[in-house]
Structure 1
Amino acid sequence: MTSWDDRVAAFWTTADDADPVVVDRMRALVDERPADDPAALFEWASVLDFVGREEEAVAGYEAALAAGLEGERMPQAVVQLASSLRNIGRAEEGAALLRGLGDETVAGAAVSAFLALCLRDAGHPDEALAVALRALAPTLPLYRRSILAYADELGGQQGA
Structure 2
Amino acid sequence: MNREFPRRVVINIKVRNFYYLIAGVLAMLFAVTHAWNGQSVMLPMLDIKAMSMDTRTVFTYVWHIITAENLVFGITFISMSFQSDRSKIRFAAWMIVAILIVRLMVILGVTALLDVSALTDTFIDSIAIVIYVVLIILGTTMKTKQSDG
State TM-score, norm by structure 1.
0.29
Q: Which has the larger radius of gyration?
A: 2
| Greater per-residue helix proportion | 2
Higher RCO by CA contacts (8 Å cutoff, separation 6 or greater):
2
TM-score, with normalisation over the residues of structure 2?
A: 0.31
